Amino acid sequence: MPDSPVAAAGAWADDVAMGLRVADPAGELAGVRLLPDAPVPLQEFQRNGGTWELTLPRPPLSRLEYLLELRYPDGTVKVGTDPANPLRAAGAFGAKSVLEFPGYRRPAWLSEPADPGGSRTLEVPVLDELLSVRVWAPTGTRSSELLPLLVVHDGPEYDALASLTRYLGAGVRGRWLPRLRAALLSPGPRNSWYSANARYARALRHAVLPALDGRFGVSCRIGMGTSLGALAMLHAYCRYRDSFDALFLQSGSFFTPDTDRQERRFPHYRRIIGFTADVRGGGLPARPVPTVLTCGAIEENAANNRLMTRTLGAHDYPASLHEVADMHNYTAWRDAFDPFLTGLLQRVAA
């Protein structure tokens, strides 16, 4: 395979347009294609002398994550990050290049002093697996101290890719968050466990939560998750109304046949749509808890998140959806912690 050509000028953006340019002075490439994480009207680059160029209208986003597909005359295809754009975002499926649009700002708490806290790890038997749970708490916290407990699906990923415990540490040190603990649950076989799986919900309620309650002082529980992890938190609460006192759900995969036909080949699609139909039909506990949802305004889950928020509201749940100018990725979820998770934690701990 030929070496990747070095991109010249890389990526640029202004208030109305964006562009990319890949240098190919020796004519080694047969084509270049943009692989964005958002729908855009154009994706194929055009040759312009010794470069390949793409200019298109700015999408309704604050930032865009993307890869480049480089095609060679011998049929070889190479997909990777943009070599001329040093800005990267880590993700569950690897790094992507990032183009930040004018006006985008990283959260202020990323640069604020933070309490590093301390962690303890326990393992809980769940569905023939050992589920690893790392429990973070502010420095010097006694195990018996009664504190709110944030229970987080995909917890290690949230921490590594969205700086969750740094957010908590900054908030606790700055006193704009209450003192609290966070239980970071490893995902296990997440597609099976997190897809409205009754056996997993039972294990969460009757094995994981009692293990935490037995080791730590817990004043209340807040369930948190993203994508399928958000769906699983709502599902667990619907089956066991004493499991959580509030929910923070990001880009939840609340599939319905009307909004998510593109997901019908997912192995557990029918189980998910059965659960969401049950919720829409009134299958919610008669114990409304504060529920905050966030979602990218143009991501695929936007429609089902709007529908779920309306459903919760119709059953007297204090539910709110906050749409952000980003997509289905950990940076988008990180950027929504403050003020949306902040407000929920302040409210629950009051």
Percent of residues in the chain assigned helix, strand, coil, to nearest 5: 30, 30, 40
Q: Sign of the C-alpha dihedral, residues 223, 229, 230, 233?
A: negative
State how far the Cα of 109 lies from the Cα of 186, in Å rounded to an integer: 25
Residues of the chain with CATH 3.40.50.1820: 113-349
Contacts of 132 (CB under 8 A, 6+ apart): 121, 122, 123, 186
Mean pLDDT across the chain, nearest whole number?
95
DSSP 74-131: TS-EEEE--TT---EE--TT--EEEEEPTT----GGGGS-----EEEEEEEEETTEEE
* Residue 248, token pair as written in the block: 């923070």
pLDDT tens readout for residues 214-250: 999 999 999 999 999 999 999 999 999 999 999 999 9
Phi-psi group of 244: left, alpha or beta (phi > 0 → left; psi -120 to 50 → alpha; rest → beta)? beta
pLDDT tens readout for residues 153-207: 999 999 999 999 999 999 999 999 999 999 999 999 999 999 999 999 999 999 9
CATH code of the domain made up of 113-349: 3.40.50.1820
pLDDT tens readout for residues 257-300: 999 999 999 999 999 999 999 999 999 999 999 999 999 999 99
pLDDT of 5 strictly over 80: no
Q: Sign of the C-alpha dihedral, residues 96, 97, 101, 106?
A: positive
Residues of the chain with CATH 2.60.40.10: 10-100
Kind of pairing between the strands at 17-23 and 10-13: antiparallel
pLDDT tens readout for residues 92-138: 888 999 999 999 999 999 999 999 999 999 999 999 999 999 999 99
Q: Sign of the C-alpha dihedral, residues 234, 255, 161, 185?
A: positive
Which pTM does this prediction carry? 0.94
**What pLDDT is stored for residue 84 in this prediction?**
86
Domain 10-100: give its CATH architecture. Sandwich (2.60)
DSSP-based three-state secondary structure for 186? coil
